[in-house]
């Protein structure tokens, strides 16, 4: 009993540190939105709609790649905290994606549904962006502990959709940019590294394990 109490007492500071870190991470994830709002409201953005669309799209990709980076961080021995932050990062990626899509629906297209359907059909970068939204929606909806218990092993299978979602997001950004491809190349390289590490670890896994 004494040993259990000592272990519990030792775990409490670590739990408090993790809770504090997650609070800071939550605030950090909101800072890009606050910055974008400040730039638009202060009149610094020449084209506010385009700026909001680009900003929310960029940060969707950033948080999505950050979500995928959590497993490699754990594998490289930084502890178990990355996996405890992964869900928050994934939900923030979906939050920014929702704002990105809402900006397109409302401020760009003014809910012109016929025009939106034409855009999805005729403009490839919008097609793949819409596909990424469709794939990411069930991941956000089933991110709770309750859904993990309900789906059991199927939860892990479902959440592998994050890989094609990230690929579609990078392609969407790549096709959107017309001249300077330096940023899309960076995101593509980061995604290739994160997926390559997973393939390497899977290939090295002993058979039968």
Helices (H), 104-144: 113-122, 124-141
Using the predicted structure, report yes or no on whether residue 74 has a pLDDT greater than 50: yes
**Position 2 in a domain:** no
Residue 152 forms part of a structural domain: yes
- pLDDT value for 207: 53
Q: Which pLDDT tens digit goes with each residue over 99-143?
A: 999 999 999 999 999 999 999 999 999 999 999 999 999 999 999
Residue 196 has pLDDT above 70, yes or no: yes
pLDDT at 52 > cutoff 90: yes
Residue 209 pLDDT > 70:
no
* pLDDT for the residue numbered 116: 93
| Predicted pLDDT at 75 | 86
Q: How confident is the model at residue 15 (pLDDT cuts 50, 70, 90)?
A: confident
Mean pLDDT of the chain: 89
| pLDDT, average across residues 61-85 | 89
Residue 77 domain flag: yes
136 is a domain residue: yes
Does the residue 22 lie in any domain? no
Helices (H) and strands (E) in the chain, counts: 9, 0
- Tally of domains within the chain: 1
| Cα–Cα dist 186/179, whole Å | 15
> Could you report the per-residue pLDDT of 156-178, keeping only the tens digit for each?
999 999 999 999 999 999 999 87
Q: CA-CA-CA-CA torsion for 141, 143, 144, 149, nearest 10 degrees?
A: 100
Residue 37 forms part of a structural domain: no
State the residue range of the domain holding 68.
46-204
DSSP character at residue 144:
S
Say what the pLDDT of residue 151 is: 92
Whether pLDDT at 42 is above 50: yes
* C-alpha dist (Å) from residue 156 to 26, 149, 160, 176: 25, 11, 6, 31
Residue 8 forms part of a structural domain: no
Residue 9 lies in a domain: no
* Rounded alpha-carbon distances, angstroms, from residue 150 to 70, 143, 154: 24, 11, 9
């Amino acid at each position: 009993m004494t040993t259990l109490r000592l272990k519990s007492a030792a775990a409490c500071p670590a739990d408090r540190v993790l809770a504090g870190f997650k609070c800071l991470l939550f605030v950090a994830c909101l800072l890009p939105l606050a910055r974008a709002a400040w730039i638009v409201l202060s009149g610094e953005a020449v084209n506010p709609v385009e700026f909001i669309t680009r900003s929310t799209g960029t940060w969707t990709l950033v948080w999505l790649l950050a979500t995928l980076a959590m497993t490699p961080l754990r594998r490289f021995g930084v502890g178990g905290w990355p996996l405890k932050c992964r869900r928050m990062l994934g939900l923030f990626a979906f939050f920014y994606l929702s704002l990105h899509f809402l900006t397109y629906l409302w401020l760009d297209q003014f809910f012109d549904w016929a025009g939106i359907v034409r855009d999805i059909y005729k403009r490839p970068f919008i097609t793949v962006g819409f596909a990424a939204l469709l794939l990411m929606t069930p991941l956000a909806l089933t991110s709770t502990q309750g859904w993990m218990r309900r789906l059991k092993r199927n939860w892990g299978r479902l959440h592998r959709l994050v890989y094609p979602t990230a690929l579609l997001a990078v392609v969407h950004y790549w096709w959107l940019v017309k001249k300077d491809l330096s940023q899309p190349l960076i995101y593509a390289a980061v995604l290739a590294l994160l997926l390559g590490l997973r393939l390497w670890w899977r290939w090295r896994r002993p058979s039968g394990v």
